[in-house]
Amino acid sequence: MKRMKLLLTLLLALLLLAACNSSNEADGPADNDATGGEEPATTEVDEELEAAKAKFEPLGEIPVPEDNEMTEEKIALGQMLYFDERLSGNNKLSCASCHAPGAGYGDGLATFIGFEGFEGHRNSPTIINSGYYKENFWDGRAGGLEEQALGPIQAEGEMNQNLDELIEELNAVPGYVDEFNKVFNDKITADNIAKAIATFERTIVVKDTAFDKYLAGDDDAISDEAKEGMKLFVGKASCISCHAGPLLSDHNYHNLGMEGDDGRFAVTGNETDKGKFRTSGLRGIADTAPYMHDGSLATLEDVVNYYNTGGGAHPNKSELMKPLNLTQEEVSYLVAFLESMSGDIPMVEKPELPQ
Ligand code: HEC
Ligand code: HEC
């Protein structure tokens, strides 16, 4: 009889243990304090972390187009043009007005304010790592930085400058004539302006973050919270379905459920592209608030909470957008992980401009 009781108790204990373990797996190992007592968790946790870590890659060198090699002199010229208000129609706005080093190379606003107070409907994205994208702009309408650069100069709502007039204006500045001659062995042309600016932008890179140090083998480079976040990023929250590859962007377009902007549709004309935007890369992300094409999410916590609800109500919403059932603690782990992907951003100043 006694023996029977002992056996039963043992069986019960075993069953309980099994139940604990499986509930553990479902909840994630982060909040297992309450289940108490069991020690095999550590090895299991490490395996999950190692498997998660193996899904990430370092960013590598920025791609440079064959016909626009990087030279010190070209970078310096690009930096002058980037900060020069004379590139705008009223000589009041430069690229740096909306992509300011002190604001993470954005403007800190939800949506941009342009020429003579023009109110834009999109967020000024950061230019950090923008040279790694295959296509630029939120909707990918430019094939690269050279193509992109001439857009804002001419856009009525942005710098509102006629290109022929700009070239005339810059030709009246002897310092610029010399600079272009030195860098390109050529005149001032729209093409050369774009090439110089793009070259400067390729120096604004964030790739040596705590997250990257961790990938490279420094186990203490990121916090335990960030490590939990990494597991969630590839697991329960499946952020990696879109934020994948070296840039943490699949270079593809997705609809997260946000309404009010047709996004990629304007480029392709395909109904299925309505409301799709390019997946953002994530390095440097802690410095580039507010977030999304419309700047509608103020903090990284807001972003993760948005995903946690499964996104908005756009009829074309991606099937990958589903409620995630993350606890607030798990949300904070994901935020910690996103923060670990940021680090020092290159700080450049307005150089002395040619006269
Ligand atoms: C008045 C504000 C404003 C000015 C001035 C401005 N931009 Fe932008 N920039 C934006 C906005 C807004 C977007 C996003 C537009 C979109 O995607 O439709 C953008 C997008 C970009 C992108 C794309 C980034 C990416 O993730 O693909 C780059 C690069 C860029 N700008 C560089 C420049 C350069 C270079 C200049 C100067 C020649 C400049 N911008 C001037 C507001 C501005
Ligand atoms: C279905 C694909 C997809 C999934 C899944 C996804 N993202 Fe995104 N992410 C995007 C796209 C597309 C954008 C740009 C959307 C926009 O601008 O409206 C974006 C933007 C972001 C931004 C803001 C970038 C910026 O510069 O404003 C952050 C941060 C972010 N995602 C983090 C995450 C996290 C964390 C997860 C997981 C919880 C996640 N994403 C899951 C596709 C995805």
The tens digit of pLDDT for each residue in 82-97 reads 999 999 999 999 999 9
Considering 201, 221, 250, which residue would you say is the last residue of a domain? 201
Any atom of ligand 2 within 6 Å of the Cβ of 280: yes
Regarding whether 225 and 112 lie in a shared domain, the answer is no
| Domain span holding position 181 | 72-201
Regarding whether 211 and 194 lie in a shared domain, the answer is no
Regarding whether 219 and 169 lie in a shared domain, the answer is no
Split at pLDDT 50, 70, 90, the class of 350 is very high
Regarding whether 213 and 178 lie in a shared domain, the answer is no
Three-state SS at 318:
coil
Number of domains in the chain: 2
Regarding whether 178 and 218 lie in a shared domain, the answer is no
* Residue owning the nearest CA to atom 33 of ligand 1: 95
Ligand 1 centroid from CA 222, angstroms: 32
State the pTM of this model: 0.89
Regarding whether 232 and 176 lie in a shared domain, the answer is no
Regarding whether 278 and 310 lie in a shared domain, the answer is yes
Split at pLDDT 50, 70, 90, the class of 43 is low
**Looking at the predicted structure, is the pLDDT value of residue 305 above 60?**
yes
Considering 184, 201, 218, which residue would you say is the last residue of a domain? 201
Residue 304 belongs to a domain with what CATH number?
1.10.760.10
Mean pLDDT score across all residues of the chain? 91
Average the pLDDT over 165-175 and give the result: 97
Ligand 2 centroid from CA 156, angstroms: 29
95 annotated to bind ligand: yes
Instruction: Evaluate whether residue 249 is within a structural domain.
Output: yes
Regarding whether 211 and 197 lie in a shared domain, the answer is no
Instruction: Evaluate whether residue 4 is within a structural domain.
Output: no
Instruction: Evaluate whether residue 116 is within a structural domain.
Output: yes
Considering 149, 179, 201, which residue would you say is the last residue of a domain? 201
pLDDT at position 4 is 52
Any atom of ligand 1 within 6 Å of the Cβ of 200: no
Regarding whether 189 and 261 lie in a shared domain, the answer is no
pLDDT at position 133 is 98
pLDDT at position 39 is 52
20 annotated to bind ligand: no
| Residue among 135, 158, 201, 228 flagged as catalytic | 158
pLDDT at position 46 is 81
Regarding whether 109 and 211 lie in a shared domain, the answer is no
